[in-house]
């Protein structure tokens, strides 16, 4: 089957190498457009003044932080069901980006909270659950790097990711379960958005850009992971970049 053609690491290595630069380039263009729309074109908010502009970073980053965990859960299911070698590597490649974005979400949220709520941190449901999400990412990374045997490490990581994925819906619904300080979601698919369309398109552009960034970085990282794990395989020894590196080392 064509789909499983890329489940083999050496095919995927080539595919990832071909896709990643394009995704990164497209992501940069969209990010520039989104930032321009958000910071130059969009008007300042009636209530929040200029400080609201952090949503162009904060909201996409928070979305992606949650989405990447779901992507990890998806790859984990795939890995546990089909026993594909790539799934564990993809999960592992996504985790650092997810942790970074969760951290950025907390950081930008704190910067926004100081002028708006008068405090950097409140024990609000959404803030707390984003913190827990960050811990879930860190737990995953810690576990997979503590187990040296690749197969056990991949599958143990998949189990942790799946168990933790139960937490992601709780994060989402926590807004409704605990009625606290964080403002309700401003964007919804069923109602017409309560934001000006310039602001909305700026935010959506940034989200798309971040999506592409996350994909590009994950693909770059998975290439390194493939090389590290398959370093004794014949196809790695014959890669042009490996041969070039070896020739350079022999020359010096």
Partner 1 sequence: MRATPPPVPSPWLAMAALLRRDLRLAMRRKSECLGALFFFVLVAALFPLAIGPEPATLRLIGPGVLWVAALLASMLSLGRLFEGDHQDGSLEQMALSAAPLTWLVIAKLGAHWLISGLPLVLLSPLLGLQFALAPEALAMLALTLLIGTPVLSLLGGIGAALTLGVRGGGVLQSLLLLPLCVPVLVFGTGAVDAQMRGLGAQAHVSVLLALLLASAALGPWACAAALRLALE
- Site for partner 1, rule CB under 8 A: 128, 132, 135-136, 138-139, 142-143, 146-147, 149, 151-152, 155-156, 159-160, 162-164, 166-167, 170
- Distance between CA atoms of 57 and 67, rounded to whole angstroms? 15
State in angstroms the smallest separation of the CB of 180 from partner 1: 12
44: exposed, middle or buried (Cβ count in 10 Å: 0-12, 13-18, 19+) = exposed
Q: Which is nearer to partner 1, 35 or 156 (CB)?
A: 156
Nearest one of 91, 68, 87, 94 to 12, comparing CA atoms: 87
Distance CA 175, CA 182 (A): 8
- Cβ–Cβ < 8 Å for 243, 37: no
Residue 135: CB minimum distance to partner 1, A: 4
In the complex, the smallest distance separating the C-beta of residue 173 from partner 1, rounded to whole angstroms, is 11
Residue among 166 and 247 whose Cβ is closer to partner 1: 166
For residue 212, count CB atoms less than 10 angstroms from its CB and return exposed for 0-12, middle for 13-18, buried for 19 or more.
Answer: buried
Which lies closer to partner 1 via its Cβ, residue 143 or residue 187?
A: 143
> What's the token pair of residue 185?
């979601």
CB of 208 to partner 1, least distance (A): 30
* Cβ within 8 Å of residue 29, ≥6 positions away: 209
CB nearer partner 1, residue 19 or residue 170: 170
User: Least distance from C-beta 81 to partner 1, angstroms?
Assistant: 12
Nearer to partner 1 by Cβ, of 149 and 189: the residue is 149
């Amino acid at each position: 089957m064509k789909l499983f053609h890329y489940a083999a690491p050496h095919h995927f290595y080539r595919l990832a190498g071909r896709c990643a630069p394009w995704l990164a380039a497209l992501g940069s263009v969209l990010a520039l457009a989104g930032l321009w729309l958000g910071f130059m074109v969009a008007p300042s908010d009636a209530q929040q003044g200029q400080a609201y502009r952090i949503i162009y970073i904060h909201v996409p980053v928070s979305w992606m932080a949650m989405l990447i965990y779901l992507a990890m859960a998806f790859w984990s299911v795939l890995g546990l069901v089909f026993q594909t070698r790539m799934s564990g590597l993809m999960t592992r490649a996504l985790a650092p980006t997810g942790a970074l974005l969760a951290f950025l979400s907390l950081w930008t949220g704190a910067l926004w909270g100081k002028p708006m709520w008068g405090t950097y941190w409140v024990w609000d449901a959404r803030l707390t659950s984003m913190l827990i999400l960050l811990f879930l990412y860190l737990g995953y990374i810690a576990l997979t790097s503590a187990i040296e045997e690749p197969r056990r490490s991949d599958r143990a990581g998949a189990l942790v990711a799946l168990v933790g994925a139960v937490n992601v819906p709780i994060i989402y619904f926590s807004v409704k379960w605990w009625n606290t300080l964080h403002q309700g979601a401003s964007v919804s698919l069923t109602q017409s958005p309560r934001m000006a369309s310039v602001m909305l398109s700026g935010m959506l552009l940034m989200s798309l850009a971040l999506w592409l960034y996350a994909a590009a970085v994950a693909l770059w990282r998975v290439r390194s992971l493939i090389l590290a794990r398959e370093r004794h395989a014949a196809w790695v020894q014959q890669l042009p970049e490996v041969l070039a590196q070896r020739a350079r080392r022999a020359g010096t």
